[in-house]
Structures are given as structure tokens and as C-alpha cells.
């Protein structure tokens, strides 16, 4: 069990030794949340939600009906559901999906992700390319990693630019959708 105070919001999470960051909330996730501007009216997707930190935190700020969470891992989905109930935001929509393959919702104002970045780039490539298409114009994708160059280049190629915030060895990328087509096409 993890007890946390994230930007003044008290939360608790059940975890498992078989999933990412089981002993405490990942510093990269906390870094991303420290710069995310979440206000009412936001429609948010927590992409690769793990045990639910980002989505549950967002739901407490903007309302549970405005939050969607997804992960490929069945254990993560089960824990996210338990944690949403535990933190009194059971109205969030939690979807098991390999990236965007089973997510049919669109017109998000925010997509937040701490993608797996210790493997190849196929997962974040999918997240970025398909995420662009699921954002409304003016919507933002926020990603956090410890790698800079590949993400900077990919987000710039798709979105036409990216703002990078470096905090404590993590890079938070904020890219805004400015048009209906990829910037490089």
C-alpha cells in the first residue's frame, strides 16, 4: 500500500511487485504531475496508467467523468479499478488496451503518459502518432522520460514543436496539437 500526498491531494494505492514502481510513486510521474495544468473542462487520457496514479489524481482535480485510463496489462487494469474505488473516483473509465487499439474515445484535451522508455521506441511511437489523432485541436500531450533526443525529434515531427521541461534528470515534453495533420506531412 502506498500513501501519497500529490500537490496537496491525499491518495492511496494498492500495487503489485509485478508492475512498474510497486514501492512508491515513480519520480518521473510526480515530475510530470508537477507541471500538468489540469483545470475543469479538461478531458484527459492516462495512457499506460499502471496502477492508476495519474488518472486518479486527475479525477480528484477535474472530476471522474472527464478521465479515461488505459493499460495493456490486466493486473494494472484490476489495480486501477481497486484504486479508483479506494480514492472515491469510481466513475473514471478504465480500458484494457494495447495503446490506442481498443480506445474509441477522441477529442481529448490532455493525454498524459510515462511510457516505457527502457525498451525500443515502438510503444512511444504508437502513443505519439495515434495520440495526435485523438487530441482535439489545442489539446496537449505530456510525456515524461529520462531520454531527450528521440522524444524531442518525434514530437516535433508530429506536432510541429515541443516544449521541454527538465527537472531532476527527467524530461517532461509538452506538445500541442495545432492542426488536423501531422506537422511533417
List pLDDT tens digits, range 44-88. 999 999 999 999 999 999 999 999 999 999 999 999 999 999 999
Q: For residue 128, count other CB atoms closer than 10 A to its CB.
A: 24
Residue 3 pLDDT exceeds 70: yes
Report the SS3 class of residue 44.
strand
The yes-or-no verdict on residue 185 having pLDDT over 60 is: no
> Please, is 120 exposed, middle or buried when counting C-beta atoms within 10 Å of its C-beta (0-12, 13-18, 19+)?
exposed
Q: Quick one: pLDDT at residue 116?
A: 81
Contact 147, 174 (CB under 8 A): no
Contacts of 170 by beta carbon, 8 Å cutoff, 6+ apart: 27, 28, 31, 32, 144, 145, 146
What mean pLDDT value characterizes the chain? 94
For residue 120, what pLDDT is reported? 78
Amino acid at each position: 500500500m502506498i500513501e501519497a500526498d500529490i500537490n496537496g491531494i491525499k491518495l492511496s494505492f494498492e500495487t503489485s511487485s509485478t508492475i512498474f514502481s510497486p514501492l512508491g510513486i515513480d519520480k518521473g510521474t510526480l515530475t510530470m504531475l508537477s507541471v500538468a495544468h489540469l483545470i475543469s473542462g479538461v478531458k484527459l487520457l492516462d495512457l499506460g496508467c499502471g496502477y492508476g496514479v495519474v488518472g486518479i489524481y486527475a479525477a480528484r482535480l477535474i472530476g471522474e467523468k472527464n478521465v479515461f485510463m488505459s493499460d495493456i496489462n490486466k493486473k494494472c487494469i484490476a489495480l486501477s479499478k481497486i484504486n479508483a474505488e479506494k480514492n472515491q473516483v469510481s466513475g473514471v473509465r478504465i480500458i484494457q488496451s494495447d495503446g490506442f487499439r481498443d480506445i474509441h474515445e477522441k477529442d481529448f484535451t490532455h493525454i498524459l503518459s510515462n511510457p516505457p522508455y527502457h525498451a525500443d521506441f515502438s510503444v512511444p511511437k504508437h502513443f505519439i502518432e495515434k495520440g495526435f489523432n485523438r487530441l482535439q485541436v489545442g489539446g496537449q500531450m505530456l510525456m515524461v522520460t529520462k531520454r531527450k533526443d528521440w522524444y524531442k525529434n518525434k514530437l516535433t515531427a508530429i506536432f510541429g514543436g515541443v516544449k521541454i521541461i527538465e527537472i531532476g534528470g527527467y524530461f517532461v515534453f509538452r506538445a500541442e496539437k495545432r492542426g488536423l495533420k501531422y506537422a511533417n506531412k
